[in-house]
A and B are shown apart, each in its own frame.
Chain A
């Protein structure tokens, strides 16, 4: 596999980078991260209308661009690079994929066009406190009353759960894993924004108390949802790659221009080697992400393992690099004013989101047949 990007891919990357650099410079990020909503609805509309990237992976018949994981990885990488504050991962990736892969046609027809056009923000509420990232351990079970259902219990760490207008919930119907749709103003639903470690991505806790829900899938959708989650994991890993690349650049720039002892600090071997180690890690992370992205097109069977590899490697790499970057910046890297901490916090939160490196390595060991006996 040689990861060949086409001219169109290059064009997409340039367009998104341009947009991100203009619309999401550090000042803007700081404004949005301390704002109530956490994103800019106007910017979101422009991403949908001018760039067409909100509906990037939505199929054409539902108003999307019908593109694949390679394009998604490019877009996510650029967003991660600038810490774009937008409900992209939640709405354009996870909720969209869940609908595309697991929902009934009627629900797809109704909801996907709204997500693709940016008119609605979607989220998939699946994490439960006991085993947040394992779909097979989802315990919330819908109470059935004829064709109507009611949900009770709690979903946590729901991405953009406070602002989403299309709330999808993964819960059981009997033994089957199913997708439900809950109206934002449904009775018994309460949404609580959680104070985030990483202020550039919002999370919420959703509580359901006999909340009316519509089942929008048929049969057991474990496989489909796992595939949707894999897509989100690959997108997250791509974001991590973009962030790590940016942090490497920050550290290198600083090491060239900061003088101590009459010379640039980058001339001290320990700093030079730290920057070189960051570069090695970024390039391995890049291979992990592109491997997972291209696998979806060329070898779908291998996507799960590729996603686990990417998520565990990119998480470790991004965290280590953003940590090192603080160190290279000395006292400056510890300040609020400098951007280094924003990347550190994003790296830490991304490491945790969708499962820790250790969690993914354990799953990978199983998939590769050397799991625990």
Chain B
């Protein structure tokens, strides 16, 4: 299928279901998009795609932007399922109802979460301790996960657990897709800097997951986890979707609209900073476009960490800069800190910027810290020698741990 046929096909979709028709069109529209093979064009036919090159998804999105006011952002609907779960499920899953799972994932009818990090295993994900023990056709889970975004609303969880503690750490793990409503899975909210609980602690107390829900083979958990994380980094490091859009647009709007308390000299200093941030965000966006265009069907590689690091640094500074634009008004935090579940969304730029000053502190932590991203770039992209490793070849159970 060539580009113009793909555009044509997207217009046909819009003619069939109109996202602007009023009411909540999300599920019917996204379901139709999936059925037309326009969810992920590089996926096989029948599973939301058309077997095309991944970069052609840009054509579809472009046409969707042009054809309707309402555009459903994957990252807002089901960030973990769509960005990270679906490609991994497709590649490693043996599920019978693959089509149904992918379709409900794409429409957002079923939210997914990522059960990787544990209290003692964050950056060192391969150090994880949650155990899965085989019992007949099932695996029985015990242990704890932490920082699980969306766990409180999720139907499915991407889970890595240790299936053999006697092997070196990277070899003894397996990967599962677990139904979060399984008995023995306990989700408890965990509050963050803003007072919200976007993430949770998840406890497993002999929760059973069928062997058929394993992604990849027993002992391949690390490989599948890395594939998941690389998808995540690309999703997080993509930059704005249109020129001058996203956080930099908010900063510029505030710079223009908030009454300045500064002298002309201070204004000039601030303007210089905003202009530099504009350049950096625009270059981030263009780098994201280039990365997507170069994307091969096997999925992203370690260079995805470039966008992730840059995005974290630039976005954090943009929200800090917004705070400087506010002047003394930055002392006031209208949202308050009442402890609550979920994530604040506001359309007002001023309030959004105040919230994001705090929320953005996690940009350089979530999805892998900026330090880890720099290790990946140094070692896996530039080929610099790694640090001496003390933990790589010994049995997992013998590795030194926090006191």
Chain A residues with CB below 8 A from B26, complex form: none
Given contact pairs A333-B365, A336-B193, A197 touches B127 in the complex (Cβ within 8 A): no
Contact indicator A330/B190 (Cβ below 8 Å): no
Contact indicator B193/A263 (Cβ below 8 Å): no
Contact indicator A331/B327 (Cβ below 8 Å): no
Q: Mark A319-350, 1 if CB is under 8 A from B, else 0.
A: 00001001100110111110001001100110
Contact indicator B328/A334 (Cβ below 8 Å): no
Contact indicator B331/A197 (Cβ below 8 Å): yes
Pick out which of these stretches binds chain B: A41-49, A109-117, A129-137, A211-219.
Answer: A129-137
Q: Mark A120-138, 1 if CB is under 8 A from B, else 0.
A: 0000000101111100000
Chain B residues with CB below 8 A from A203, complex form: 331-332
What range describes how many residues of A lie at the interface? 35 or more
Best-surrounded residue of A260, A268, A333 (most CB of chain B within 10 A): A260
Chain A residues with CB below 8 A from B335, complex form: 195
Task: Give the Cβ gap from A131 to chain B, nearest Cβ, in Å.
Answer: 6
Contact indicator B339/A336 (Cβ below 8 Å): yes
Asked if B348 is at the interface (CB within 8 A of a chain A CB), the reply is no
Least CB separation from B126: chain A residue: A261
Asked if A199 is at the interface (CB within 8 A of a chain B CB), the reply is yes
A263 to B111, CA, bound (A): 36
Contact indicator B332/A262 (Cβ below 8 Å): no
Least CB separation from B330: chain A residue: A352
Partner among B328, B371, B391 whose Cβ is within 8 Å of the Cβ of A156: B328
Best-surrounded residue of B117, B190, B328, B358 (most CB of chain A within 10 A): B328
Asked if B123 is at the interface (CB within 8 A of a chain A CB), the reply is yes
Asked if A19 is at the interface (CB within 8 A of a chain B CB), the reply is no
Contact indicator B361/A334 (Cβ below 8 Å): yes
Q: Mark B350-379, 1 if CB is under 8 A from A, else 0.
A: 000010011001101110011100100000
Consensus secondary structure, chain B interface: loop
A355 to B281, CA, bound (A): 28
Asked if B263 is at the interface (CB within 8 A of a chain A CB), the reply is yes
Least CB separation from B399: chain A residue: A262
Chain B residues with CB below 8 A from A344, complex form: 193, 361
Q: Mark B106-117, 1 if CB is under 8 A from A, else 0.
A: 000000000001
Given contact pairs A335-B190, A362-B266, A261 touches B330 in the complex (Cβ within 8 A): no
Contact indicator A261/B391 (Cβ below 8 Å): yes
Asked if A358 is at the interface (CB within 8 A of a chain B CB), the reply is yes
Contact indicator B371/A268 (Cβ below 8 Å): yes
Asked if B265 is at the interface (CB within 8 A of a chain A CB), the reply is yes
Partner among A195, A271, A362, A372 whose Cβ is within 8 Å of the Cβ of B336: A195
Task: Give the Cβ gap from B96 to chain A, nearest Cβ, in Å.
Answer: 36
Chain A residues with CB below 8 A from B331, complex form: 157, 194, 196-198, 203, 349, 352-353
Contact indicator B266/A358 (Cβ below 8 Å): yes
Task: Give the Cβ gap from B180 to chain A, nearest Cβ, in Å.
Answer: 20
Asked if B324 is at the interface (CB within 8 A of a chain A CB), the reply is yes
Chain A residues with CB below 8 A from B190, complex form: 335, 337
Contact indicator A133/B328 (Cβ below 8 Å): yes
Asked if B264 is at the interface (CB within 8 A of a chain A CB), the reply is yes
A145 to B365, CA, bound (A): 61
Given contact pairs A132-B328, A270-B374, A334-B193, A262 touches B391 in the complex (Cβ within 8 A): yes
Asked if B256 is at the interface (CB within 8 A of a chain A CB), the reply is no
Residues of chain A from 148 to 196 with CB closer than 8 A to chain B in the complex: 156-157, 194-196
Given contact pairs A156-B328, A330-B122, A336 touches B191 in the complex (Cβ within 8 A): yes
Contact indicator A131/B261 (Cβ below 8 Å): yes
Contact indicator B337/A199 (Cβ below 8 Å): yes
Contact indicator A348/B332 (Cβ below 8 Å): no
Asked if A258 is at the interface (CB within 8 A of a chain B CB), the reply is yes
Given contact pairs A327-B364, A331-B122, A353-B331, A257 touches B391 in the complex (Cβ within 8 A): no
Residues of chain B from 95 to 135 with CB closer than 8 A to chain A in the complex: 117, 120-124, 127
A336 to B389, CA, bound (A): 33
Contact indicator A260/B123 (Cβ below 8 Å): yes
Task: Give the Cβ gap from B279 to chain A, nearest Cβ, in Å.
Answer: 20
Contact indicator B193/A335 (Cβ below 8 Å): yes
Task: Give the Cβ gap from B328 to chain A, nearest Cβ, in Å.
Answer: 4
Partner among A197, A261, A356, A362 whose Cβ is within 8 Å of the Cβ of B324: A356
Asked if A208 is at the interface (CB within 8 A of a chain B CB), the reply is no
Given contact pairs A270-B371, A359-B262, A257 touches B403 in the complex (Cβ within 8 A): yes
A262 to B261, CA, bound (A): 51
Q: Mark B151-173, 1 if CB is under 8 A from A, else 0.
A: 00000000000000000000000
Contact indicator B328/A157 (Cβ below 8 Å): yes
Task: Give the Cβ gap from A222 to chain B, nearest Cβ, in Å.
Answer: 18
Least CB separation from B120: chain A residue: A259
Residues of chain A from 206 to 262 with CB closer than 8 A to chain B in the complex: 257-262
A356 to B390, CA, bound (A): 46
Chain A residues with CB below 8 A from B324, complex form: 356, 358
Partner among B146, B263, B264, B399 whose Cβ is within 8 Å of the Cβ of A331: B146
Partner among B323, B400, B403 whose Cβ is within 8 Å of the Cβ of A348: B323
Least CB separation from A270: chain B residue: B371
Contact indicator B330/A195 (Cβ below 8 Å): no
Chain A residues with CB below 8 A from B193, complex form: 334-336, 341, 344
Task: Give the Cβ gap from B267 to chain A, nearest Cβ, in Å.
Answer: 10
A169 to B365, CA, bound (A): 45
Least CB separation from A199: chain B residue: B337
Q: Mark A345-373, 1 if CB is under 8 A from B, else 0.
A: 10011001100101100100000000010
Contact indicator A352/B264 (Cβ below 8 Å): no
Best-surrounded residue of B195, B354, B370, B387 (most CB of chain A within 10 A): B387
Residues of chain A from 255 to 280 with CB closer than 8 A to chain B in the complex: 257-263, 265, 268, 270-271
Partner among A157, A260, A323 whose Cβ is within 8 Å of the Cβ of B124: A260
Contact indicator B400/A262 (Cβ below 8 Å): yes
A/B interface sample: 20 pairs, CB < 8 A: A129-B261, A129-B328, A133-B328, A195-B334, A197-B331, A203-B332, A262-B124, A262-B401, A265-B123, A270-B374, A323-B361, A327-B370, A330-B122, A331-B122, A335-B193, A348-B357, A352-B328, A356-B266, A356-B327, A372-B265
Interface residues of B (CB under 8 A from A): 117, 120-124, 127, 146-147, 190-193, 195, 259, 261-266, 269-270, 323-324, 327-328, 330-337, 339, 354, 357-358, 361-362, 364-366, 369-371, 374, 387, 389-391, 399-403
